[in-house]
Structure 1
Amino acid sequence: MNIAYVSNVVYPFVKGGAEKRIYEEGTRLVKRGHSVTVYGRHFWDGPKEQEFDGLTLRAVSPERELYAGDRRSIGEAVEFSKDLLRPLQRHRREHDVVVASVFPYLPVLTAGLVTGIARTPLVTIWHEVWGPYWNEYLGAMGPAGRAVELCVTRVPQYPVAVSGVTADRLAGIGPARESIAVVPNGIDADRIGAVEPVSTGFDVLFVGRLIEEKNVDALLQAFDVVAAEFDCRLGIVGDGPARETLERTAEDLHHRDRVSFLGFLDDYDEVLAQMRAATVFASPSRREGFGITLVEAMAADCTVVAVRHPQSAAEEVVGDAGFLTEPTVTALVGGLRSALQGERPQTQPTVAAKRYDWDRIAEQSERVYAHAVASYGST
């Protein structure tokens, strides 16, 4: 197959889960005999079109800042969608299937227009479905965000969700549940296992963007309780708009000297080295479309403590390979206490993590794309 991916950001020049999925999956599909082109912004050095690790990178829009303040730039999404139209239209007959990463939504509308004209199947990758969260994210503009998300669900497509939770939420606003394939995000399990741990790690580690939904304030409060019982330290890796508030919360803890904010770590191996050295990986997030850090932590052989929540796929992803609690301080105390006492989950975390190895994910995606090509026009 000749496969085209549409993503305004391109890994490894921009680091993020959606673009990393395209890179890891795409490079493996090339090794399996397919041709892969990525349409994105010109974040790399050199010509607008070039080969990179077997992929054809095709820049359709110049490099641009992705954020306006703490939120993704609407203007950036509009510009990329506009700039995508002519190049994708020009090369439309080269591709057997177009695969669009849904966020930031507007490029899917452009891809839907071009694939409709070219009579080419469009596969969409849904990492999250925001629904009511739009109101919190955009305030007064929230209804507009929800309208765009709904509009994208109406584009003729073969939808793929990264988890059953995300698939269920997508079915609630658009496609029939049986039409949505579930193909999770992945990891390189062997690479994670080969990373050398840092010499002095943390007993409890959190990795993620510091936003309200990650529920890190509850983790801080729970850690303060267990720190009275155990000689332990908490490391928080990540940055975000809630960092200053969380740092103030940490200052009020009885055991504030055992909490460290490491900020955002540019080097992925440095993050993995922290995971490899940690005893417990705590992720109290109330909203996760998938939760790739959970799988990375399991591959690093951490004991994962995560929470159950209707808007989170953590229970689906972790299963019995970690401890799952309610997203409250009291419940988190129980989970942390069990893990710090040395209790281990029913399933070995490293074994569970191998289900998400990128080689397996690429094979699953290959089947979805082949099905879209074979069935397009007959459904």
Structure 2
Amino acid sequence: MRVAFVSMFTPDHRDTPAFRRARRVAEGLAARGHVVIWLGAKWWEGEIDRFEHEGVDYRALTEAPAAGTFRSKLPFALRKADPEVVHAVNVPPAHVATAKTAGRLLRTPVVVDWWERDPEIGSRKQYRKAASKPDAVFTPSETVRTAVREFGAAAEDVTVVPNGIDFDLVREAPVDDGVDVVYARHLDGDANVGTFLLGLAELRDRDWTAAVVGDGPARGDAERTARDLRIDDRVTFLGDLSPEEFVPLMKGAHAFAQTATYEPFATNLLWGLACGCVGIVEYQAGSSAHELVEGLDRGRLVTSPQELADEIVASGELETMAVNEGFAGFDHDAILDEYETHYEAVVADQGLF
């Protein structure tokens, strides 16, 4: 299949989960033999306006991100790319409407991968158009699916396609039993590491060790909180780690704690669950993390630091696991299968009219 990705930004411009997800899918499809063209802003050095990387044909519509110019050139670039399906990222949202208009003229279906609304890029009106214009919308979770429907998308047009992980890595990585409890996330204003640390502080009289994986502007405050709670001798702040580095740690831990107030999809929690951790999730209205543990034997929902502490203790009574095969369906290959299936469906629907 010939697929055109429409995203002015790549992770080289804005390193966010949305653009990392788009690149991962594009490269995965290319590795399967699909023709994948990425229409975006230039992110490489040199004078050339096309650049192939990991099987993806990147075509620069602009020298640098410039929303208006990009939008004006997009219809012509799509016509030249001649795709069977257009896969657009929802940020900036105005590009989705332009892609859909071009797709209608070219009789090409347009799907949108929607991670979140970025309030700094695009108005609410533009996001409403982005939600209602495409042939299909993919979201990483039911929480985001609900948000997209509130922007006007029809229920039957929105499908959950979760983030994936490398399950072969989970199976093959060694076990590092250096810590009992793990927290992992980008440490920004939504990380809410304080709740995790308060829960650990309730367990001062018990023998445990914990690790915080991740970096960001809230790291300094978190480290100070650990010192103020007098648990800094048992909590290690490890900074950013690659999957190859943090998977062994999770395979050796008993529990993974998720307390962030905002999470379109809790990918790090998924890693922890796949590595056999008991997932302890503090329910937050702005987070989808609870979706991964609801109804799960090795999952717990809590609402306070004290409940978090209680569940950490209880997790130590459960059987130790290093791999939970129940999450094999989240492997990257399985997620690519879902994308391919949905592409085929929208292409088939397009042929009916």
Q: TM-score, normalising length from structure 1?
A: 0.80
The residue number in structure 2 matching 1:66 is: none
Q: Choose the corresponding residue for 2:199, options 222, 232, 244.
A: 222
Using the TM superposition, give the Cα deviation of residue 332 of structure 1 relative to its aligned residue in structure 2, in angstroms: 1.1
**Contact 2:266 2:289 survives alignment (8 Å):** yes
The residue number in structure 2 matching 1:89 is: 76
The residue number in structure 1 matching 2:99 is: 111
Distance 1:315 1:366, change over 3 A: same
Q: C-alpha distance in 2, partners of 1:165/1:368?
A: 20
Matched, 1:261 2:212: no
Q: Choose the corresponding residue for 1:207, options 184, 192, 205.
A: 184
> Percent identity over the alignment?
28
Write out per-residue CA displacement over residues 246-284 of structure 1, whole angstroms, 9 at most, x where no aligned residue. Answer: 23222210322222222334x442233433343322111
Q: Per the alignment, in what secondary structure is the counterpart of residue 228 of structure 1? A: coil
The residue number in structure 2 matching 1:186 is: 164
Distance 1:349 1:268, change over 3 A: closer
**Contact 2:85 2:108 survives alignment (8 Å):** yes
Distance 1:80 1:210, change over 3 A: same
Give the partner amino acid of 1:5.
F
Give the partner amino acid of 2:91.
F
The residue number in structure 2 matching 1:39 is: 39
Distance 1:177 1:348, change over 3 A: farther
Using the TM superposition, give the Cα deviation of residue 344 of structure 1 relative to its aligned residue in structure 2, in angstroms: 4.8
Give the partner amino acid of 1:90.
A
Matched, 1:159 2:137: yes
The residue number in structure 2 matching 1:366 is: 340
Q: Per the alignment, in what secondary structure is the counterpart of residue 256 of structure 1? A: coil
**Contact 2:26 2:36 survives alignment (8 Å):** yes
Write out per-residue CA displacement over residues 141-182 of structure 1, whole angstroms, 9 at most, x where no aligned residue. Answer: 9xx743442232233431112122221222123112122122
**Contact 2:37 2:56 survives alignment (8 Å):** yes
Q: Structure 2: state its 5+ residue gaps.
A: none
Write out per-residue CA displacement over residues 177-224 of structure 1, whole angstroms, 9 at most, x where no aligned residue. Answer: 1221221111110023323455x7332211112233332111010011
Q: C-alpha distance in 2, partners of 1:186/1:99?
A: 18
Matched, 1:233 2:209: yes
**Contact 1:124 1:158 survives alignment (8 Å):** yes
CA RMSD of aligned residues (A): 3.0
Q: C-alpha distance in 1, partners of 2:204/2:78?
A: 59
Q: C-alpha distance in 2, partners of 1:241/1:147?
A: 31
Matched, 1:354 2:332: no
Distance 1:201 1:112, change over 3 A: farther
Using the TM superposition, give the Cα deviation of residue 2 of structure 1 relative to its aligned residue in structure 2, in angstroms: 0.9
**Contact 1:306 1:322 survives alignment (8 Å):** no
Higher helix share goes to which structure? 1
Q: Per the alignment, in what secondary structure is the counterpart of residue 247 of structure 1? A: helix
Q: C-alpha distance in 2, partners of 1:293/1:127?
A: 16
Q: Per the alignment, in what secondary structure is the counterpart of residue 214 of structure 1? A: coil
Q: C-alpha distance in 1, partners of 2:162/2:68?
A: 26
Alignment of 1:229-378 (within 5 A): 229=206, 231-265=207-241, 267-319=242-294, 320=296, 322-339=298-315, 341-344=316-319, 350-376=324-350, 378=352
Distance 1:177 1:87, change over 3 A: closer
Using the TM superposition, give the Cα deviation of residue 37 of structure 1 relative to its aligned residue in structure 2, in angstroms: 1.2
Q: Structure 1: state its 5+ residue gaps.
A: 64-75
Q: C-alpha distance in 2, partners of 1:182/1:219?
A: 29
Q: TM-score, normalising length from structure 2?
A: 0.86
**Contact 2:132 2:154 survives alignment (8 Å):** no
Using the TM superposition, give the Cα deviation of residue 241 of structure 1 relative to its aligned residue in structure 2, in angstroms: 3.1
Write out per-residue CA displacement over residues 331-357 of structure 1, whole angstroms, 9 at most, x where no aligned residue. Answer: 211221212x23259x99622221111
